[in-house]
A and B are shown apart, each in its own frame.
Chain A
Amino acid sequence: MSKLIDGSESSLRAFLDNLPGVDKVGAESRAAMLGTRSIKTKSKARAIDLAIRMVDLTTLEGADTPGKVRSLCAKALRPDPTDPSVPHVGAICVYNDMVKVARDYLDSIGGNSIPVAAVSTAFPSGRASMDVKLRDTKDAIDAGAAEIDMVIDRGAFLSGKFGLVFDEIESIKELCGDKAHLKVILETGELATYDNVRKASYLAMLAGADFIKTSTGKVTPAATPPVVLVMLEAVRDFYALTGKRIGVKPAGGIRTTKDAIKQLVLVNETAGPDWLSPDLFRIGASALLNDLLLQRMKLRNGRYSSANYVTVD
């Protein structure tokens, strides 16, 4: 990163302010056009399985209990108990005090290859002291989280304190070390403009993010196609600048197979096929998994299925 910025706030600001603008109408119409791609038959079947492997199966409720989390983990490993050909999901995503429950349970049922991701840094608001945010993260890593989904300080970003936002990400990344990969949640719904989404994407990548993530899922709009398009353009261009591939995770509002496939098409035609892997693209979702399973069943059996034939988690 040293050739892009020199470590000073002014250099960071100059870099971010110098990025080309995003024309809202143009970006939305490109995303909409890609949404008209018709993905059928064999390519649809492959897309569904790929999407399943990319799901970060998530529960982030105040009412979460160990029982709920274990149930989710079982589903993550064996989404369809009647069909062993269904792949397991990309990760489990929980609050940090549920990480141990998830990790222990997954290990006990043969789910060692499924990482546990924890949200941290005073998720979802990000409104707490740096000490609290660091402790939050440390707790998760100590409990076995291999992925940390942190939130940026949107208040700081919107009031122009780019250096503050940068430093926070850098500190969390340092804490993660090589124990956990870091996803940085931009909360695009609060950033309000595509220009800001582009700037925040670059800021996060410059500060060390392994993944940039759209949303906490607690605010709408969340992972709309044009927002994901702008983030995919950012990782594509960042790779051209630095040789480093950063992942993208849309989260929130992706409920149906159709939505998920639209996301995959965006990836395919923006960042490119190299990003079509759970290593570089994840989908934060809960209800989506069942719709993927229903669509998968329809492709296999030739008839529309029903909610009775998928499990609740």
Chain B
Amino acid sequence: MRIDVMKTYKLFIGGAFPRSESGRSYELKDKKGEFIANPALASRKDLRDAVVAAKAAFSGWSHATAYNRGQILYRMAEMLEGRSAQFISEIKALEGVTEAAARKQVQDSIDLWVWYAGWTDKISTTAGGTNPIAGPYYNFTMPEPLGVIGVIADEKESLLGLTRGLAPVIASGNTAVLIASEVRPLPAISLAEVIATSDLPAGVVNILTGSKSELIPWLASHMEVDGIDISGAEKKSDVEIKKAGVENLKRIHRFGKEESLKRILSFMEYKTVWHPIGI
């Protein structure tokens, strides 16, 4: 009988896979109560490091051409397609769903990455434009990414939920710190492996596993974080999160299952430029 090599599930920060600086982990069991793994239990310092990495990656990612970002997101879909089996088995084990349901979730996730990949070079066309000023001025408005965005992953659909949050955030040039589902973290960590093979620059996406109640307050109050998608947080903590985010006026939003341009624009700002017209 062959002994499998068991996988160690680590964090994903700045393109590397460190353990938590706290050295902690927690026990993860599947739907049947069997032991699966000891994922890292991220600390506030890990979160701090993730924000540093995301901030450092922002300039390069936001200055990449939209075409380049689209190519990379599409590459993620290619890599994800190749690893479907791995994700299907993780979802089945953690969510207790059928093979068919798990496969559908994986395929929907892949297709959603493709959908957002196709958005990157269409955002400013649809949401920006020239404005007719009553005077000899050329005036245009363009949407721009904000910076570092926190994404709190959905607890229910462990791959599709986090894709709904993460893809629109990075498509526009933001960088992200993702807090994975506590009880279903494995697809998030496997996604980190997909990211690491997709030409996505280090630090654009950082993934932390652990206790949401421990990490979210630090994310919400961090002055270097510009926005948060709280769709995956418990509704009862919304007020607390928003109050913690007041200090730097974080753009905090909760969405349902929608897949839309709105999710992209929610983490963008509009810049308007004027220039005289004349010889």
Complex: A in contact with B (CB within 8 Å):
no
